[in-house]
Amino acid sequence: MTVQEWSENHRRQGHHPHPAPTAENADRFYCDCGGLWRILTPQQVEKKFAHLKRDMTYSEQVRLRDTKCTKDLEFLGHDAGLARRLVRLPRA
């Protein structure tokens, strides 16, 4: 849904949506019914979903590091088999 669709929906219900920008969010709209339209900033998204973050397990860290090393070696011209043997990727 776009802000135009949101505001049109509120107008059809007899409400009066209007722009209500803030220093943090210039794309914010407010309606007299209490409705709020806003596009979350990256900082707001990070704060909103902070509870979903978790530390990677050791095996996930190793797998990520080994995958990066393999890609680097392949980029440098080594074949994929040699790259995997050099970094000893765990089998998935």
Where helices occur in 14-57 by DSSP H, the ranges are 42-48
What's the pTM? Answer: 0.45
Q: Helix, strand, or coil here: 16?
A: coil
**pLDDT winner (highest mean) among 16-25, 39-48, 83-92:** 16-25
Q: Which residues lie across from 19 on neighbouring strands?
A: 29
Name the 3-class secondary structure at 30: strand
| For the chain, domain boundaries | 3-50, 58-87
Q: So what's the pLDDT on residue 12? A: 93
Q: Name the amino acid, one letter, at 68.
A: K
Cβ atoms 49, 63 nearer than 8 A = no
